[in-house]
Amino acid sequence: MSINLNRFNRVNRKKIFNRIERTQKAAIPQAPKRPPLLHPQLDISALTDIFLSKFSASSSTFQSIDCLSLVPQLVLQYAEKHSANKTLVTNLHSILTLDETPLDWPETLSLSPPPATGNEAIGLSYATTAIAETGSLVLTSSEKNPTTVNFLTDHHIIILNEQDIVPNIESMWERLSLSAGNMPRAVNIITGPSRTADIEQTIQLGAHGPRSLHLLLLTQR
């Protein structure tokens, strides 16, 4: 079957808009003013505590670290505890600044560069920001932080800088400062491991994505 998609779209679009515009003014050039919305307010001084309590409530775990150089050992420990397969997919080295010491990965971990292929047991990425209100980690897709790492691995470990925790969903968007034409392909707000309750409403972790989610919280000491 072949249709002229452009023409098809033009005709349909016109029909739909005609019907919509019966009831309201034609697509007015200036933006309508959306009514102001209220945002839930949180105790700013307790952001980290609020975040961690909500985050833990989503069946996730965390450890605090004060230095990135601890990451390889902690990843190894996590892998030893949770997975027979010690393969790790990450692009973490690309976010290290020049003055930071390169990470010293133990040989027992077999590292592979992204994208994830489904064969790696552990994925390591970093969160751009995190939401205290919901206990969510927010990851934006990029060369440094490819989306497949978030979904194709069995265990997902995410690094978050404590300073990047914001109070609510709105402040998260503000922090990301997104605009059309400049969007990361994907923004993933992640709150706990993959889950399903599709069989007899019984919650099971690890439906399609990671079976576990672990946070390494980089605190400022």
Residues 86-115 that bind other proteins (CB under 8 A): 91, 114-115
- According to DSSP, the residues that pair with 166 across neighbouring strands are 131
Q: How far is the CB of 65 from other proteins (least distance, A)?
A: 24
Q: Is 190 in the site for other proteins (CB under 8 A)?
A: yes
Q: Which stretch binds other proteins (CB under 8 A): 61-69, 76-84, 120-128, 147-155?
A: 147-155
User: Of the candidates 161, 162, 160, 171, which has an alpha carbon nearest to the alpha carbon of residue 133?
Assistant: 171
123 alpha-carbon distance from chain centroid: 12
Report the Cα–Cα distance between both ends of the chain, in Å, rounded. 64
Identity of the residue, 88 or 218, whose beta carbon is nearer to other proteins in the bound complex: 88
- In angstroms, the CA 149 to CA 183 distance is 19
Identity of the residue, 67 or 178, whose beta carbon is nearer to other proteins in the bound complex: 178
| Binding test (CB under 8 A) with other proteins, winner from 97, 202, 220, 221 | 202
Q: Is 40 in the site for other proteins (CB under 8 A)?
A: yes
Phi (first) and psi of residue 64, to 5 degrees: -95, 140
Q: How far is the CB of 71 from other proteins (least distance, A)?
A: 21
User: Of the candidates 191, 221, 123, 126, which has an alpha carbon nearest to the alpha carbon of residue 164?
Assistant: 126
Q: Is 45 in the site for other proteins (CB under 8 A)?
A: no
Block residue for tokens 């609020």? 50
Q: Is 212 in the site for other proteins (CB under 8 A)?
A: no
Binding mask 126-145 for other proteins (x = CB under 8 A): --------xxx----xxx--
Q: Is 170 in the site for other proteins (CB under 8 A)?
A: yes
Q: How many residues in the shown chain lie near other proteins by CB under 8 A?
A: 83
Joined together, the tokens standing for residue 207 give 């439906």
Q: Which of positions 1-20 make contact with other proteins (CB under 8 A)?
A: 1-3, 5, 8-9, 12-13, 15-17, 19-20
What b/e readout covers 103-122, taking b as 16+ CB neighbours within 10 angstroms? bebeeebebeebebeeebbb
